Amino acid sequence: MIKQKIVIVGGGAGGLELATKLGNKLGKKDRATVKLIDASNTHLWKPLLHEVATGSMDSGIDELSYRAHAHNHGFTFHLGRMSGVDRDNKQIVLEAISDGDTLVLPERRLSYDILVIAIGSVTNDFGTPGAEQNCYFLDSRHQAERFHKKLLNTYLKANAEAQGRDDFKLNIAIVGAGATGVELAAELHNTAEELSAYGLDNLQHEQLNVSVIEAGERILPALPPRISAAAHKELEKLGVTVATQTMITRVTEQGFETKDGNLIEADLRVWAAGVKAPAFLKDIEGLETTRTNQLNVRETLQTTNDENIYAIGDCSFLLQDNGKPVPPRAQAAHQQASHVYKNIMNRYKGKEQQNYTYHDHGSLVSLSRYSTVGSLMGNLTSGSMMVEGRIARIVYISLYRLHQIALHGYFKTLLIGLSGRINRVIRPRLKLH
């Protein structure tokens, strides 16, 4: 059998899990060359970026080195950002890499027999004037760490200015009340309490004003109304200001201007509303994309016009039987990675490609250490079972553990969990630098 060249672009939850499985099954046995491409050297589970942004998680401890992981699991890693696909010659194009004025690597081309595009999504600011210039985004570890540094400096400055001033306010506003925006708002209050415990105690809890701004009728619009209502109630208990049905028309250094002509003042501004796939996907000749640049795929997860190219995760678009697209969630990326693995193995066995069906196992939203709310079972039962509190928190953590198990196996994940418990004892509860 001819040795196939399998190239996976994107080392997020789906892409890295797929590369690991194919490397273990085919790469180690020299039945295929499996290559993983990513623009970063390390992997961090994207649902945890809000914890990196607030300092609740130290990315230096929890990140995974692609190159080391590739060495252990039978595939190779290539650092780079895909800029295009030459479908006629079955090659992907990687941008040149520079370090300042020094060229590190020139533009490169990598050949493939099977290509899997799993590059995820980025935040969609919908072209709102001033958003790009005046807001922080949380699409990558780099962006999260940049926000964390700014947050610490802003809090340090505010703590000095608040001394002896009861009227002082530190205003932080987040546009977008999806999971990222809601979880970030809760984590910011946890960060404030931790910083107070570490000596920055001039700024009182009630002087921190965190606002969540949502254009829709309710927060967490992708989740059932009862979960949304429960999360809304918990946020208000923390003192978070929740503004729904509020459209932002402009962002300035002073804050967010609304359609009604009001100004929501903000010293720190975060944009977490909407997602879109990277823009270059719409320029790949012959492949169909949506208005948000997602690649249209068949039920087999192959792109509509090229059976040798698969797309999974947030960058793919597939309508379900109910007329709704597969949602951009980590559980969908995980399921699709497993399905594409099976379909690639079917190609090796000469079997037909199988159709993918999304299974909604529910959704959970973590409000830092204060609470966790969500639903379990999803469409596995006639309805969903609402959970909150300690049980929900345990299930929420287990989702990350399942991702680690897919990458490392049970024993190594057990050791990682044990290491995490030790770190909570010997390290500060918050990253303070």
Q: Residue 1: pLDDT above 70?
A: no
CB 15 within 8 A of CB 337: yes
Structure tokens belonging to residue 165: 């001033």
CA–CA separation, 175 and 295 (whole Å): 26
Helix 13-22 vs helix 389-408: crossing angle, to nearest 10:
40
Structure tokens belonging to residue 136: 């922080």
- How much of the chain, in percent, has pLDDT values that exceed 70? 95
Q: Residue 429: pLDDT above 70?
A: yes
How confident is residue 295, by pLDDT bands cut at 50, 70 and 90? very high
**pLDDT tens per residue, range 345-394:** 999 999 999 999 998 877 777 787 777 776 665 443 334 555 655 666 67
CB-based contacts of 157, cutoff 8 Å, min separation 6: none
pLDDT at position 386: 58
Span 7-15, average pLDDT: 95
Q: Residue 134: pLDDT above 90?
A: yes
**pLDDT tens per residue, range 88-128:** 999 999 999 999 889 999 999 999 999 999 999 999 999 99
Winning range, highest mean pLDDT, from 23-27, 189-193, 278-282: 23-27
How confident is residue 60, by pLDDT bands cut at 50, 70 and 90? confident
Average pLDDT, the chain: 90
Structure tokens belonging to residue 329: 């969630």
- Structure-token match 């049905």, residue found: 245
Would you state the torsion angle of the CA atoms of residues 184, 189, 195, 200, taken in this order, to the nearest 10 degrees?
130
More confident residue, 311 or 199: 311
Number of helices (H) and strands (E), helices first, in the chain?
11, 27
Span 173-200, average pLDDT: 91
Q: Which of 252-261, 292-301, 414-423 has the lowest mean pLDDT?
A: 414-423
Domain range summary for the chain, segments of one domain joined by +: 4-121+277-349, 125-274
Q: Identify the CATH class of 125-274.
A: alpha beta
More confident residue, 324 or 212: 212
CB 82 within 8 A of CB 92: yes
Structure tokens belonging to residue 144: 């999260």
CA–CA separation, 429 and 433 (whole Å): 12
274 burial via Cβ count (<10 Å: 0-12, 13-18, 19+): middle
How confident is residue 129, by pLDDT bands cut at 50, 70 and 90? very high
CA–CA separation, 296 and 98 (whole Å): 33
Tell me the CB-side half-sphere exposure of residue 295, using CA atoms within 13 A: 32
Span 167-179, average pLDDT: 93
Span 166-191, average pLDDT: 92
Same fold, 4-121+277-349 and 125-274: yes
Span 2-14, average pLDDT: 93
CA–CA separation, 186 and 400 (whole Å): 19
pLDDT at position 388: 59
Q: Residue 2: pLDDT above 80?
A: no
Q: 373 has which bridge partners?
A: 365, 388
Structure tokens belonging to residue 314: 């947030």
pLDDT at position 380: 36
CB 203 within 8 A of CB 192: yes
CA–CA separation, 61 and 64 (whole Å): 9
Residue 425: strand, helix, or coil: helix
CA–CA separation, 379 and 390 (whole Å): 23
Q: Output the pTM of the full model.
A: 0.90
CB 171 within 8 A of CB 255: yes
Q: Residue 192: pLDDT above 70?
A: yes
CB 213 within 8 A of CB 246: yes
pLDDT at position 376: 63
CA–CA separation, 266 and 157 (whole Å): 15
- The CATH code that applies to domain 4-121+277-349 is 3.50.50.60
Q: Residue 211: pLDDT above 70?
A: yes
Q: Which of 152-166, 205-219, 364-378 has the lowest mean pLDDT?
A: 364-378
How confident is residue 226, by pLDDT bands cut at 50, 70 and 90? confident
Task: Give the per-residue SS3 of 37-51.
Answer: EECCCEECCHHHHHH
pLDDT at position 379: 43
CA–CA separation, 44 and 170 (whole Å): 30
Q: What are phi and psi of 136, to 5 degrees?
A: -95, 145
CA–CA separation, 433 and 423 (whole Å): 16
